[in-house]
Amino acid sequence: MSRPLSNEVKQALQDIYYNERTGRGKEAFALLERASEAGDGDASCVLARCLCGYQYVWKGHGFPEDDDRATELLHKSVEQGSALGVLVSMRCGELTPEVEKTMPFGSLQEAFDAALELAEAGDAFSQYVVGNAYFWWDFLRIQNKGREAFSSQEAFKAYLAENISKCEEWFWKAFRGGVYFAANNLNRYYTQGDEDIIAPQPEKAKDLWKIGAEYGHPIHQGIYARELEKAGHKEAALDWFLEAAEGGEPGAWGDVGRFYAEGIGTAKDEAYAVRCFERELPSGDVTSHNLLGRAYLLGQGVSVDYDKAFRLLSFAYEKGSKWGVFFLAKCCFYGWGTPQDYVQARKFLDEVNWNYWEADYLRGVIYGQGLGVRADVPRAVAYLQKAGEHPEAKEELSHYKKTLFGKWVRR
């Protein structure tokens, strides 16, 4: 008979996985730390998952990532007698023969049976762990079977299909019980199948994110909102982005602000958009930094502030986003919020890999006047002509003429 989950672990699972929008994630994390120190192996196991990054726990909790500590905790959970810890360690590749020897179970099958009992009793996290044992073929090691145990390849494949397919029911139970990322594996199971053993069933995957959104998971509300936006259902998308934002989904306030800034699915309200972007800044969301930087640069819903604009746009650029690189080029060209620097402006302009008349205009000015670069009149004219009929480009182009020999020169 398995050891029941402690009250501490049950409470932590509620706040971390089953109802993450309560905002009590950090309190639950501390609760797990205390329980782990007191010898609770299941607490050590769940705590380890909390330290493994957004693939294993909701990013909105803001938990630290620490792979080394997570590994130590998984090993500790096995030694402390957590059946869940044994299966999770196996899934992570951490159940080495040395670690396996420390577990108080007589076999991996005994540990699995203990976890299965928790799953059958209704614990969603345990249901997810059991589902993973089938989904990722860990049952082979648990049952100590391989191809050699079967009379033919067909018999072996039938055995595999029988066991792998069990994951579907367990993932659905876990998903309905509150483990949102069980939907990730269901999505993979349905869209990809499993080699030539399980055929894909993509039609079963189409409502997964909607279901998760309706269950109240902020991450699924954000994903579903993006699906709705892509399908052209702008007003419904905004409603779900707002639900996600209010639930704490990182980046969602940026999406709400984007809708209001552009008037997508709602009346345009640039001032409200600015407030949304500002709410998102602590999360480090690059979209909000970019869009708020643009707002300060152009005075959209807020007074122009070049210093703030350059700082916000630079933050996003340093995080790998090139969305605002033209605005950074413009700041460097004119000396807005940063010392005037034509060399840096040109470097930023070189990263503008989309057609935009003003980028070509600035390139034309730089090469035509030799600003931070050797003057190249033919190249300047080519850029200015590419900029089209815009007044600034036409005015700059008027300073050049062709000689009798067809060479462009500055007047």
The predicted model gives 273-282 an average pLDDT of 97
Q: How far apart, in whole angstroms, are the C-alpha atoms of residue 411 and residue 393?
A: 16
Contact 79, 102 (CB under 8 A): yes
Angle separating helix axes 41-50 and 83-91, nearest 10 degrees? 30
The predicted model gives 392-400 an average pLDDT of 94
Contact 133, 139 (CB under 8 A): yes
Closest to 205 in 3D by CA, of 228, 186, 181, 226? 186
Instruction: Report DSSP state, residue 372.
Output: S
Q: Which residues pair with 402 in a beta bridge?
A: 408
What is the pLDDT confidence band of residue 3, given thresholds at 50, 70 and 90? confident
Q: How far apart, in whole angstroms, are the C-alpha atoms of residue 83 and residue 86?
A: 5
Digit-coded pLDDT (tens) for 315-367: 999 999 999 999 999 999 999 999 999 999 999 999 999 999 999 999 999 99
pTM: 0.90
The predicted model gives 172-199 an average pLDDT of 97
User: 162 is written with which tokens?
Assistant: 């029988």
Digit-coded pLDDT (tens) for 43-93: 999 999 999 999 899 999 999 999 999 999 999 999 999 999 999 999 999
The pLDDT, as a whole number, for residue 217 is 96
Contacts of 90 (CB under 8 A, 6+ apart): 108, 133, 138, 141, 142
Give one DSSP letter per residue of 244-264, joined into a string. HHHTT-TTHHHHHHHHHHHTS
Least reliable range by pLDDT among 29-38, 187-196, 400-409: 400-409
C-alpha angle 182/185/187, rounded to 5°? 105
Q: How far apart, in whole angstroms, are the C-alpha atoms of residue 217 and residue 14?
A: 13
What is the pLDDT confidence band of residue 406, given thresholds at 50, 70 and 90? confident
Helix (H) or strand (E) holding 377: helix 377-386
C-alpha torsion 171→173→179→182, nearest 10:
10
The pLDDT, as a whole number, for residue 100 is 97
What is the pLDDT confidence band of residue 2, given thresholds at 50, 70 and 90? low
Where does 327-403 show beta strands of DSSP type E?
A: 400-402
Is 60 exceeded by the pLDDT of residue 1?
A: no
Under DSSP, is residue 72 helix (H, G, I), strand (E, B) or coil?
helix
Q: How far apart, in whole angstroms, are the C-alpha atoms of residue 44 and residue 68?
A: 14
Q: How far apart, in whole angstroms, are the C-alpha atoms of residue 405 and residue 411?
A: 15
Position 221: which residue type? Q
The percent of residues above 70 in pLDDT, for the chain, comes to: 100
The predicted model gives 9-35 an average pLDDT of 96
